[in-house]
Amino acid sequence: MTERDIYLLGRSAREEERLRKQVQELAEEARWLLDRLQIHPGARAIELGCGPQGVLELLSERVGPSGTVVGLDRNEGFVASARKHVAERQLLNVEVVQGDARATNLPRASFDVVFCRLLLVNVPQPEQVVEEMVSLLRPGGVLASHEADYLPHRCDPPSPAWDRLFEVFQAYSRAKGVDLFVGRRMHRMLRDAGLVELGVNPVIHVYPHGHHRRSIFLDFVQNTRDALVREGFATDEELNELTRDLKRHLDDPDTLVVSHLFFQVWGRKPGRREGDHGSSGPSNQWPGESGESSR
């Protein structure tokens, strides 16, 4: 497997099921972010790294019957699942294609809206993906990203098992060239890529006892377990003991679990799209770069 093929959490059936659940868990946040873009009917939109579902349905609603949506993912299985979802939901304005988010081979400056969610925190060289996203935008088009930063993702009381597993997981991520803290850099990457009128919204949660995402870090470890052992980051016996201890800790209702810090970042490509006379598209009244509060 080459560096270009790496998706940190793997492409297993377990990961596909996690991504499907994530669609519902993050739906409200996705709607909020897409609403900031003021997508107009007839727009052409793309989601990079759409996985088995992504936000294709939400984009479809916003561009309307006269618009089009493209979902792109590198994994053949995820593409097949996304196509099945599109067919079942009768999303007639959505097409799903297989491709690399770093080099989509799609026409330059051909989209009004470009979106990705929790992609850059799972792949190496995220700047290349950002460069591709911006190149796909028409002048005046808008780009939005929802990315994670692992900094606050902790539990209290502290857990030695959590700390050791994160040490292992972070070492594995570094070896793959993946930045677990990329979220905080998103505003800078978009600015460096030439976007203007940037907006930033931080999102953080507490996961109470019984919440599905309470065990999300443990899920990540389980998804990468075979690779962690195979590549020498931990032994099978150590992982058995650590995951057992952490599960017991997370099952305690008195344990506080804090989510990742998510950064929702959006901006506009300078210029005016051909045929745009100001009657549609993003408003010039965008929230300030750090003026949004966490929700």
In a domain, 112, yes or no: yes
pLDDT attached to residue 289: 37
Encoded tokens for 223: 């998804």
207 domain-assigned: yes
Q: Per-block average pLDDT, block size 10, for the chain (295 residues)?
A: 48 63 82 96 97 94 98 93 95 97 96 96 94 98 97 96 97 95 97 98 96 92 93 97 98 97 97 54 37 41
The number of distinct structural domains making up the chain is 1
**Is there a domain that residue 278 lies in?**
no
- Check residue 25 and give its pLDDT: 80
Look at residue 71 and tell me if it is in a domain: yes
Both tokens assigned to 65: 């019957």
Can you give the pLDDT at residue 2? 43
Q: Output the six-digit token pair for 68.
A: 């089009």
Q: How far apart are CA 100 and CA 104, in angstroms?
A: 5
Closest CA to 186 of 123, 101, 263: 263
User: What is the value of pTM for the model shown?
Assistant: 0.87
CA gap 264, 11 in Å, rounded? 25
Instruction: Determine the straight-line distance between the first and last CA of the chain, rounded to whole angstroms.
Output: 39
Range of the domain at 104: 3-268
The answer to whether position 72 is within a domain reads yes
* pLDDT score for 4: 42
What pLDDT is recorded for position 31? 94
Distance CA 12, CA 178 (A): 19
Task: Look at residue 138 in the predicted model and tell me its pLDDT.
Answer: 98
Residue 60 located in a structural domain: yes
